[in-house]
Structure 1
Amino acid sequence: MKKYPPQFKADAVALYESRPEATIRQVAAGLGINLETLRNRVRAAGVSRPRGRRAEAPAEPPTPLEAENAAL
């Protein structure tokens, strides 16, 4: 098992926090560390994000029927 210095661990978590569009998998791959290693560090630091797919703003305004359904 590799031992990472405390500063590297803190920097890895900070990098993940600073890139809301990036996944843990992407950040871990970019740093060359195991996904679970970074996931554990992020959890230990108390960083959390909503689970599931990120909501994106619709590209087009809703149709009148969609707007009516949303209002119900």
Structure 2
Amino acid sequence: MPKPYPSEFRDEVVRVARNREFGVTIEQIAKDFGVRPMTLQKWLPRADIDAGTKPGQSRTEAAEIRELRKRIRLLEQENEVLRRAAAYLSQANLPGKGSSPASGRCPHRS
């Protein structure tokens, strides 16, 4: 997958495309900036969403959701480790599991 274009670059290309002179095509602008026309055509509605003029999930919101999902996965893993540790420790503290009788006397001696 190619490296994404910097957001400042995308914003500038979109600005130029929106403010283009009559008769200047998206294809010409894309060529001038060295991007594919289809890429620029995708950037235009994305810019509207990011600006809040069209409904949809902005790039900022999408990044936040990705980070939150990572955090959830990490917390779920930590929770599983704690659950296993609690189960192990509760088994280790059960009577008759290697601990000596409460009286402290050895059962074989009188």
* TM-score, normalising length: structure 2: 0.39
Q: Which residue of 1 aligns with 2:87?
A: none
Q: Deviations over 1:20-66 (max 9, x none)?
A: 421110100011111111110012123xxxxxxxxxxxxxxxxxxxx
Runs ≥4 in structure 1, deviation > 6 angstroms? none
The structure having more radius of gyration, on CA atoms, is: 2
Q: Which residue of 2 aligns with 1:35?
A: 37
Q: Which residue of 1 aligns with 2:26?
A: 24
In 2, the alpha carbon distance for the partners of 1:14 and 1:27 equals: 11
Q: Deviations over 1:1-32 (max 9, x none)?
A: 23100000000000111114211101000111
By relative contact order (CA 8 Å, sep 6+), the higher-ranking structure is 1
Gaps of 5+ in 1: 47-72
The size of the alignment, in residue pairs, is: 46
Q: Which residue of 1 aligns with 2:13?
A: 12
In 2, the alpha carbon distance for the partners of 1:2 and 1:34 equals: 14
In 1, the alpha carbon distance for the partners of 2:27 and 2:7 equals: 20
Identical residues among aligned pairs (%): 30
The SS at the match of 1:40 is helix
In 1, the alpha carbon distance for the partners of 2:13 and 2:26 equals: 10
In 2, the alpha carbon distance for the partners of 1:18 and 1:41 equals: 15
* TM-score, normalising length: structure 1: 0.57
Q: Which amino acid aligns with 2:25?
A: T
